[in-house]
Amino acid sequence: MSNHESHHQDTPSSNRRPLLYGEDGKPLPLSAKTKKLLKKEQTKSRGPQGGFRAHKKVIGLSLSAMTIIGALVVFVPRPTVIPTDPVDPTNSMSASFTIANAGLIPLNHVTAWIALGTVTANKSTGGFVVLKGAPKWQTKITVPDWKDHSLHMDERFTISPEDLLGQLTSVKGWYDAEIAVDVEYQPWFLPIKREKLFGLRTHRQTDGKLYWYSFPVR
């Protein structure tokens, strides 16, 4: 058996290269078709690398999309309402609510409304009075000082429910309440009015004092 034949027997078929050998044991020149087949096999062998490059491309596109979305979020109008504790611990309506622009976009024609859920008060006679709004916060009231403000970034104005309810009734000493501050506004780049509701309800702590807590309005 020749060395050439022994080489072919000892080498597994999966490791052989498709080369043609002459009588002298030297490889013959490859044809164009054979070279093409070899190149195709080499391309397949680099498949994992090609997949890695495709994976990197997907990651790059995802990061670009996230960057664009992040940039757009910065320009979303962002009115906020910040409650404070009541000045009079026995009167929940002595608290104040600050309406602020927390975004970059200026807000025009900003108006704050009190949307009634339920407000309970104790009259001096010992009886109770309850102000109750229509379903879905449809009963809204405001005063002239709360209307038509223009707010640039971080600008704000403050309202107090006592200013409003004091004009409606002679009641002193409001207790449990569930209301919403309805903020109407117009972004400077949109000729349409938008609004956002901020739910607020009182909570009596162990010290007997009332505090305001936020909740989502659906």
pLDDT tens by residue, the chain, 218 residues: 444 444 444 444 444 444 555 566 666 666 676 666 666 666 655 555 555 566 666 666 666 556 555 544 455 788 999 999 888 887 888 899 999 999 888 999 999 999 999 888 865 545 577 888 887 888 899 999 999 999 999 999 999 998 888 777 777 778 889 999 999 999 987 778 999 999 999 988 888 788 999 999 87
Assess whether 179 and 97 both reside in one domain. yes
Assess whether 87 and 180 both reside in one domain. yes
How far is Cα 178 from Cα 197, in angstroms, rounded to an integer? Answer: 13
> CB-hemisphere CA count at 13 Å for 33?
0
Assess whether 87 and 177 both reside in one domain. yes
Q: What is the DSSP string of 118-176?
A: EEEEE-TTS-EEEEEPPGGG--EE--GGGSSEEE-TT-EEEE-HHHHHHHH-----EEE
Q: What integer pLDDT is reported at residue 171 of this predicted model?
A: 74
Assess whether 35 and 126 both reside in one domain. no
Assess whether 180 and 200 both reside in one domain. yes
* Helix, strand counts (H, E) of the chain: 4, 10
Assess whether 84 and 175 both reside in one domain. yes
Assess whether 11 and 101 both reside in one domain. no
Q: Is the pTM of this model over 0.85?
A: no
Q: What range does the domain containing 35 cover?
A: 3-73
Assess whether 168 and 193 both reside in one domain. yes
Q: Give the length of the chain.
A: 218
Of 27, 49, 73, which closes a domain?
73
Assess whether 19 and 104 both reside in one domain. no
Q: How many domains does the chain have?
A: 2
Of 44, 73, 102, which closes a domain?
73
How far is Cα 188 from Cα 191, in angstroms, rounded to an integer? Answer: 7
Using CA atoms, how far residue 41 sits from 8, 10, 27, 120, in Å, is: 21, 23, 19, 82
Q: What integer pLDDT is reported at residue 23 of this predicted model?
A: 60
Q: What integer pLDDT is reported at residue 42 of this predicted model?
A: 60
Assess whether 66 and 156 both reside in one domain. no
Q: What integer pLDDT is reported at residue 54 of this predicted model?
A: 60
* Three-point CA angle 195, 197, 202, nearest 5°: 155
Of 25, 58, 73, which closes a domain?
73
Assess whether 7 and 30 both reside in one domain. yes
